[in-house]
């Protein structure tokens, strides 16, 4: 019995560690699986954390900030830690986060990467298609 309990505990810990340390890879899966969707034809409501983080990324992209990759990573981490959305809205947001992180990856490899900038800008263009962010200016 003790062996069974220890086995269950170890498997549970391994699953937790795997989920916790896969980082943002799970966000890319949302895009691959096509879970970006509207809320019965309507855009999803946003919370303050989502609006703040996305606005900061948007502002950095508009200013062609040399720190865009770093800002994008910091703000996506902020979104993941603070944003509280319904599960389907969260899955849709993860699709956008995956694109933002792909753009940040490209910019970290080459700070002048046109592909990285385009990937981030595309995510920022898609964001208001799925989320109701009052005052958002493309």
Q: Could you give phi then psi for residue 46, rounded to 5 degrees?
A: -115, 155
- Rounded Cα gap, residues 113 and 102, in angstroms: 12
Please give the model's pTM, rounded to 2 decimal places: 0.75
CA angle 21-60-90, nearest 5°? 45
Q: pLDDT exceeding 90 applies to what percent of the chain?
A: 70
Determine the Cα–Cα distance for residues 10 and 23; give it in Å rounded to an integer: 21
Interatomic CA distance for residues 55 and 136, integer angstroms: 8
**What's 64's DSSP letter?**
T
Q: What DSSP string runs through 43-54? A: PEE--HHHHHHH
pLDDT in tens, 26-80: 444 434 445 799 999 999 999 999 999 999 999 999 998 889 999 999 999 999 9
Q: Between these two residues, 9 and 64, which has the higher pLDDT value?
A: 64
Average pLDDT, the chain: 82
């Amino acid at each position: 019995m003790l062996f069974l309990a220890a086995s269950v505990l170890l498997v549970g810990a391994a699953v937790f560690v795997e989920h916790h340390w896969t980082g943002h890879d799970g966000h890319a899966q949302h895009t691959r699986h096509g879970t970006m969707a509207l809320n019965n034809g309507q855009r999803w409501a946003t919370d303050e954390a989502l609006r703040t983080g996305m606005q900061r990324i948007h502002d950095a992209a508009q200013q062609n900030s040399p720190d865009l990759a770093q800002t994008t990573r910091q703000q996506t981490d902020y979104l993941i830690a603070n944003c509280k959305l319904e599960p389907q809205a969260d899955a849709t947001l993860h699709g956008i986060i995956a694109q933002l992180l792909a753009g940040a990856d490209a910019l970290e490899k080459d700070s002048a990467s046109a592909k990285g900038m385009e990937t981030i800008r595309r995510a920022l263009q898609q964001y208001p298609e799925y989320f109701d962010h009052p005052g958002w200016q493309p």
